[in-house]
């Protein structure tokens, strides 16, 4: 259990945030609410309609995903050149989704390995390998056009894996530098940077480390709270998930989610919405809830069947969680939707691919009654599910 006693002014409200293009001030996702009492029934994805998205380029589409409202962003890597990355942005048009933009790499890294949407703002990470430096890029949408707005890196100690994870919300960026496998002496870091209303940076990124190997391999941000995973598996260490809070001026470390050893895969994927956080391990996803400034472990999400590689990616929106399992069903893959009623989580449905798609559930995203699941394997595509 982690007790928060210091940053209550900003953690309980959003007065510290600037407005973000395309989003009303202090607007957030569907909140999970506080403790106690039954929650609304919400959408049922068991009866969802589906729309499939593909592109003509030979790419592994959907290595990363984010979904907000009628906009979907997806990272992709060439099927023939493992060094060629790009990002596709799609917009909903009726029951279909149409390509709005294809964004090309700014440097020589893994452009789009992680990305995040917030209104008309798209943050794209581009981690790299030494001697090259990783970056985080910002794009702004005007009408239907996405324009490059600038890049940031760590000026103090350039980190090749700067950008292994990225999250954006209300004029703030959380950036992970969490996979320095070939530089074992360099710890992972969690970096934060604020932006003005025009999305120009206020200051260079402020980075924090020494919280376990692989810190920053996953990231989630909602208001004045951030959760970053520390994937210890590649370093022979236990994983973790760490909470940060923003005060009047900067971000501070607040503590770790979970007590005791939780496995080396713990923290490989995280999600955050209001007072609820998801942290994925291998074969299980833990749910944590915050009440009165205290985070407690509230539930475990497990599939009703084998669910191969369950927890590869997670998404959270209000009382709905989605968990990817790209090796389920002999590699065809699946995604599992869980629903919360009161304080109880239960599996609502198992989403499966059609046709011969592979690795379905590699990346997942959810926003209200809409969920997206990628299948970057053979015949790569993204399936968007809309609940009635």
Which of the pair, 153 or 27, is modelled with greater confidence? 153
Residue 364 pLDDT class (50, 70, 90 cuts): very high
Q: What is the pTM of this model?
A: 0.88
Rounded to whole angstroms, the Cα distance separating 350 from 334 reads: 7
Which range in 97-111, 232-246, 257-271 is most confidently predicted, on average pLDDT?
Answer: 97-111
How far is residue 292 CA from its own chain's centroid? 25
Summarised one tens digit per residue, pLDDT across range 3-37 is 333 332 233 233 333 334 444 333 333 333 333 44
Summarised one tens digit per residue, pLDDT across range 157-169 is 666 678 999 999 9
| pLDDT at site 25 | 34
DSSP three-state, residue 150? strand
**Residue pair 71/368 in contact by the 8 Å Cβ criterion:** no
pLDDT at 124 over 60: yes
| pLDDT at site 355 | 83
DSSP three-state, residue 156? coil
Q: Which of 150-159, 221-230, 374-383 has the lowest mean pLDDT?
A: 150-159
pLDDT at 53 over 60: yes
pLDDT at 357 over 90: no
Summarised one tens digit per residue, pLDDT across range 298-324 is 999 999 998 899 999 999 999 999 999
Please choose, from the candidates 167, 170, 137, 131, the residue with its C-alpha nearest in 3D space to the C-alpha of residue 153.
Answer: 137
Sign of the four-CA dihedral 130, 194, 173, 229: positive
Which of the pair, 241 or 154, is modelled with greater confidence? 241
**Residue pair 45/323 in contact by the 8 Å Cβ criterion:** no
Domain residue ranges of the chain, discontinuous segments joined by + = 2-46+57-294
**Residue pair 74/88 in contact by the 8 Å Cβ criterion:** yes
| Size of the chain, expressed as the number of residues it contains | 388
Instruction: Give the CATH H-level superfamily of domain 2-46+57-294.
Output: Integrin alpha, N-terminal (2.130.10.130)
Rounded to whole angstroms, the Cα distance separating 308 from 280 reads: 13
| pLDDT at site 378 | 85
State both tokens at 290. Answer: 């915050």
* Count of CA atoms in the C-beta half-sphere (13 A) of 118: 28
Contacts of 193 (CB under 8 A, 6+ apart): 152, 172, 173, 175, 201, 202, 203, 204, 205, 206
Residue in the block written with tokens 């509230």 = 298
Summarised one tens digit per residue, pLDDT across range 165-221 is 999 999 999 999 876 555 554 568 899 999 887 778 887 788 887 776 678 999 999
pLDDT at 260 over 80: no
Task: Give the percent of the chain with pLDDT over 70.
Answer: 81
Strand 364-367: give its sheet, edge to edge: 49-53, 381-386, 370-375, 364-367
Rounded to whole angstroms, the Cα distance separating 215 from 232 reads: 8
pLDDT at 1 over 60: no
Which of the pair, 243 or 130, is modelled with greater confidence? 243
State both tokens at 187. Answer: 């710890």
| pLDDT at site 177 | 85
| pLDDT at site 109 | 87
Contacts of 155 (CB under 8 A, 6+ apart): 204, 205
Rounded to whole angstroms, the Cα distance separating 361 from 341 reads: 24
Average pLDDT for residues 229-243, to the nearest whole number? 78
Sign of the four-CA dihedral 216, 221, 223, 226: negative
| pLDDT at site 36 | 40
| pLDDT at site 108 | 82
Summarised one tens digit per residue, pLDDT across range 333-350 is 999 999 999 999 999 999
Residue 278 pLDDT class (50, 70, 90 cuts): very high
**Residue pair 375/317 in contact by the 8 Å Cβ criterion:** no
Task: Give the percent of the chain with pLDDT over 90.
Answer: 64
């Amino acid at each position: 259990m982690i007790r928060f006693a210091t940053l209550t002014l900003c953690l309980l409200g959003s007065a510290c945030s600037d407005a973000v293009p395309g989003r009303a001030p202090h607007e957030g996702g569907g909140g999970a609410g506080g403790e106690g009492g039954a929650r609304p029934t919400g959408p049922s994805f068991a009866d969802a309609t589906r729309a499939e998205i593909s592109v003509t380029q030979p790419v592994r589409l959907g290595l990363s995903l984010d979904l907000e409202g009628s906009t979907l962003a997806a990272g992709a890597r060439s099927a023939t050149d493992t060094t060629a990355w790009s990002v596709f942005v799609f917009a909903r048009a009726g029951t279909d989704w149409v390509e709005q933009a294809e964004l090309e790499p700014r440097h020589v890294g893994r452009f789009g390995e992680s990305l995040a949407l917030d209104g008309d703002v798209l943050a794209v990470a581009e981690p790299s390998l030494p001697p090259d430096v990783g970056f985080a890029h910002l794009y702004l949408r005007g009408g239907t056009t996405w324009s490059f707005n600038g890049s940031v890196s760590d000026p103090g100690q350039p980190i090749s894996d700067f950008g292994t994870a990225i999250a954006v919300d209300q004029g703030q960026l959380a950036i992970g530098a969490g996979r320095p496998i070939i530089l074992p002496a360099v710890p992972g870091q969690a970096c934060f940077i604020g932006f003005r209303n025009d999305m120009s940076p206020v200051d260079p990124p402020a980075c924090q480390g020494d919280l376990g190997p692989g810190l920053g391999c996953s990231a989630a941000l909602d208001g004045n709270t951030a959760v970053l995973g520390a994937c210890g598996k590649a370093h022979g260490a236990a994983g973790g998930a760490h909470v940060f809070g923003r005060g009047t001026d900067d971000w501070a470390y607040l503590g770790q989610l979970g007590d005791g050893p939780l496995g080396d895969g713990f923290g490989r994927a995280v999600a955050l919405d209001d007072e609820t956080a998801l942290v994925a391990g291998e074969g299980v996803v833990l749910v944590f809830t915050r009440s009165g400034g205290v985070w407690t472990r509230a539930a475990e999400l497990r599939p009703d069947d084998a669910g191969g590689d369950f927890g590869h990616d997670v998404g959270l929106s209000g009382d709905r969680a989605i968990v990817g399992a790209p090796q389920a069903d002999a590699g065809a893959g699946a995604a599992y939707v869980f629903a919360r009623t009161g304080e109880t989580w239960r599996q609502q449905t198992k989403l499966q691919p059609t046709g011969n798609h592979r690795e379905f559930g590699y990346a997942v995203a959810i926003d209200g009654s809409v969920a997206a699941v990628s299948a970057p394997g053979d015949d790569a595509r993204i399936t968007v599910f809309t609940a009635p």
